[in-house]
């Protein structure tokens, strides 16, 4: 058996990789997301105040998702599955990793193209690009909402992600500043022997630079080269 196939590559991806495809990202510096204060459209309180505004916001994000394509960074990670075991843990709510061909993707912050019941979070409904409207309900009659983890909500997949990072032979962090928790804390779960790479045009704090092999380039250009090296 080819020994490289036994290596487990765990990828922690963030907004930067999707931004290269044209996906709008939230930037904490101005507290706005597509000209909306984050409190209005990405918190349980915002949903309670104005569910119609929140639904419209995510409907627009979903429509935009289907106007863009995965980039070379997404494609390189999908191609890596030919020689390695690969698990992508993403902070992104888009489906660009899947559309590029990645088969094992964990969405820490939910998925834009899925709706869920407000009464029972286990009831999930693929949207396939469709809007969610006020009055759209689950079988139990409860309003549907975006299957997205809002600020102030728990991250249900975080423990599963921690367990996966603990099994990594290689950890690749791409397109994230490692400043948003709890996702940023996942790197601490990697084994001591794990090779660590960080791909982002903006280099992190010096302490992280000592911990990672840093590649200060966009994912679209850096990832194909890194995958060739692996």
Rounding to the nearest 10 degrees, give the CA dihedral for residues 206, 195, 227, 99.
Answer: -90
**Residue 157 neighbours by CB under 8 Å, 6+ apart:** 106, 107, 108
Query: Which H/E stretch holds residue 38?
Result: helix 38-41
In the block, tokens 């912050």 appear at 109
Residue 160 in tokens:
């599963």
Q: Which of 74, 97, 107, 109 is catalytic?
A: 109
Alpha helix locations (H) across 66-186? 72-79, 96-100, 158-165
Among candidate residues 82, 115, 116, 76, the one with its CA nearest the CA of residue 96: 76
What is the DSSP-derived secondary structure letter of residue 56?
H
Indicate left, alpha or beta for 216 from its phi (over 0: left) and psi (-120 to 50: alpha). beta
> Catalytic site residue 97?
no
What is the DSSP-derived secondary structure letter of residue 142?
P
Residues with a known catalytic role: 109
């Amino acid at each position: 058996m080819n020994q490289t196939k036994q290596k487990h590559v765990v990828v922690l991806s963030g907004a930067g990789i999707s931004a290269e495809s044209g996906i709008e990202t939230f930037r904490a510096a101005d507290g706005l997301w597509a000209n909306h204060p984050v409190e209005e459209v990405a918190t349980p309180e915002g949903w309670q105040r104005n569910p119609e505004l929140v639904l419209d916001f995510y409907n627009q994000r979903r429509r935009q998702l289907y106007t863009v394509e995965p980039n070379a960074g997404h494609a390189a990670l999908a191609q890596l599955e030919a020689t390695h075991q690969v698990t992508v843990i993403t902070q992104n709510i888009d489906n660009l990793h899947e559309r590029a061909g990645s088969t094992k993707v964990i969405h820490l912050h939910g998925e834009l193209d899925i709706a869920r019941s407000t009464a029972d979070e286990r009831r999930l409904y693929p949207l396939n690009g469709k809007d969610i409207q006020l009055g759209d309900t689950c079988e139990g009659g409860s309003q549907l909402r975006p299957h997205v983890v809002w600020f102030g909500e728990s991250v249900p997949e975080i423990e599963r992600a921690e367990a996966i990072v603990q099994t990594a032979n290689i950890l690749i962090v791409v397109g994230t500043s490692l400043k948003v928790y709890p996702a940023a804390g996942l790197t601490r779960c990697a084994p001591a022997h794990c090779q660590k790479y960080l791909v982002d045009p903006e280099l992190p704090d010096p302490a992280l630079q000592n911990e990672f092999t840093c590649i200060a380039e966009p994912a679209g250009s850096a990832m194909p080269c890194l995958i060739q090296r692996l």
